[in-house]
Amino acid sequence: MVEINSENINLQEIEDLEKKLAEKKAALGEKMPMPEQKEIEITKENVLEKYQSQNSSQTQQATTDDEEKKEKHIKKVTEELKSLDIPGKVARLVVIAFEKGISHSINIARGLNDAYLLDALHDKLIGDLHDELVKKGKLKDL
């Protein structure tokens, strides 16, 4: 069975290939009627439906896998951070923010249920993030 690549699907090519196949069979002496336009449209719809349903299910599976990985990472890091003091937790969360994103770091901090830690992380990120963006030329220092 031929697998359809989402980047290379071209319905016009399919029609052209069907016509060429019919012409070659006719040249070989086999009589094969050209498919009617309605049949071609049904074929296009079937191909598109199948492609869209496959693409949708693959996307849903990938999203579920990513979410599970994030949740596992959050739980793992949350357990590791419980043994650290506040400055150690904040430092680790800042590193995570720069590696995996601010929202990921905040989700981990929320998992620790410590409002003081969230406030300290916010303050540190504001300072570090601003300095980093100025250093990279993304922001102008005021």
Residue 43: Cβ within 10 Å count = 15
Q: What is the pLDDT of residues 21-40, one digit of tens each?
A: 888 877 777 555 555 555 55
104/70 Cα distance (integer angstroms): 8
Q: What is the pLDDT of residues 117-132, one digit of tens each?
A: 999 999 888 887 778 7
6/3 Cα distance (integer angstroms): 10
> For residues 32 and 39, is the Cβ–Cβ distance under 8 A?
no
> For residues 10 and 16, is the Cβ–Cβ distance under 8 A?
no
pTM of full prediction above 0.85:
no
If you search the block for the tokens 């410590």, which residue do you land on? 114
96 with 128, same domain? yes
Kindly give, in sequence order, each residue whose CB lies less than 8 Å from that of residue 73, ignoring residues fewer than 6 positions away: 100, 104
Domain-embedded: residue 77? no
41 with 94, same domain? no
Q: Report how many domains make up the chain.
A: 2
Is 80 exceeded by the pLDDT of residue 79?
yes
Q: Residue 123's domain spans which residues?
A: 84-142
59 with 93, same domain? no
> For residues 39 and 29, is the Cβ–Cβ distance under 8 A?
no
The pLDDT > 90 percentage for the chain reads 7
60 with 89, same domain? no
* Burial (Cβ within 10 Å: 0-12, 13-18, ≥19) of residue 81: buried
110 with 138, same domain? yes
44 with 95, same domain? no
Is 80 exceeded by the pLDDT of residue 77?
yes
Domain-embedded: residue 129? yes
What rounded mean pLDDT belongs to the chain? 76
Domain-embedded: residue 127? yes
128 with 88, same domain? yes
Instruction: State whether the Cα torsion 112-113-117-119 is positive or negative.
Output: positive
